[in-house]
Homo-oligomer: A and B are copies of this chain.
Amino acid sequence: MIVAIQGEAGSFSHEAALAMLPDCIVLPCARSAEVFERVLKRKADAAVIPIENTLAGPVTEHFDLLLEHPLFIKREYPLRIRHNLIAAPAVKLAQIRRVRSHPVALDQCRKFFRDHPRIQQIPFYDTAGSVKHVIEAGEKDAAGIASRQAALEYGAKILKAGIEDDPKNFTRFLLISHGERWAKDADKISLAFSVPDQPGALFKTLAVFALRDISLSKIESRPVKGHPWQYVFYADLKSGQTPATEHALHHLREICPMVKVLGIYKAG
């Protein structure tokens, strides 16, 4: 099974893909739009994408792409994000003067940098890419911060594991593909909808679920491109394919100009 991911091989998306589908082959793509394109054109069987991090928040671009494409969420997987300091095999921690990584990763390892004030932080476009660069450029005084998978991928060494400040650091990954909109054992529904431009519109929309005792596990809003200050909402319901949810979706379509079911799947 070929699974498209955004970023270099060895990224956290790669780790999440292997956790969900141990035998898959990952297809690294430079851009998220390309990830969706590959699945759409059946160059990949599925994609694994991060959708939210418990510290950094939503991956907003992926919400937009989910809405635009006729692909559905099949599974979710919350991956514990463990940042590792990774360098060339012969390099020791005392030699490190520069650490490259994605700004979000650098930011999540503040304690490490406070404890090592002589080490300079260098923002880089990708976590796994930082390890790739350090190894390919033969840097002896530099390291990257990335997943364990990145060390395996580029023949590098983990100098220090788990350097993230907060162990409660998870990213929720989604497996998306063509085909059936819902899984048999589903207990979670992801929706996108827009609300009419009226006072109390969101309140009326949420009544659709509250009146039927259906819980929301989350709700997000995103700006609508080309329509400044208008928003589309993303909600997760704690519910499978039941008569109550079918009635709720029917009621939702009565109120909202746009409703899209993004997936009906088993909560991870």
Please tell me which one of the listed residues B125, B168, B219 contacts residue A228 in the complex, with CB atoms under 8 A apart. Answer: B168
In the bound complex, do residue B60 and residue A56 qualify as a contact, i.e. CB atoms below 8 Å apart? yes
Query: When the two chains form their complex, are residues A223 and B52 in contact, meaning their CB atoms are under 8 A apart?
Result: yes
Residue of B nearest to A197 (CB): B215
Q: Interface readout for A183-222 with B: 1 if CB under 8 Å, 0 if not?
A: 0000000000000000110111011011001111111111
Count of this chain's copies in the oligomeric assembly: 2
Contact A210–B220 (Cβ < 8 Å): no
Contacts of A222 in B (CB 8 A): 57
- A220–B228 Cα gap in the complex (Å)? 15
A221 touching B219 by the CB < 8 A rule? yes
Known: A55-B225, A223-B52. A199 touches B213 (CB 8 A): yes
- Report the interface size for chain A: residues with CB under 8 A from the other chain: 41
Contact with B along A52-81 (1 / 0, CB 8 A): 111111101000000000000000001000
Q: Cβ of A166 < 8 Å from any Cβ of B?
A: yes
Q: If the complex has contacts A57-B60, A125-B123, are A202 and B219 also in contact, measured as CB distance less than 8 A?
A: yes
* Cβ < 8 Å to B, chain A residues 226-247: 226-229, 231
- Residues on B with C-beta less than 8 A from A200 are 206, 209-210, 213, 215
Q: Is A138 an interface residue (CB 8 A)?
A: no
Nearest CB on B from A78, distance (A): 8
When distances are taken between beta carbons in the complex, the residues of chain B under 8 Å from A103 are 125
Check if A170 is an interface residue, CB within 8 A of chain B. Answer: yes
Task: Report the bound CA distance from A223 to B59 in whole Å.
Answer: 12
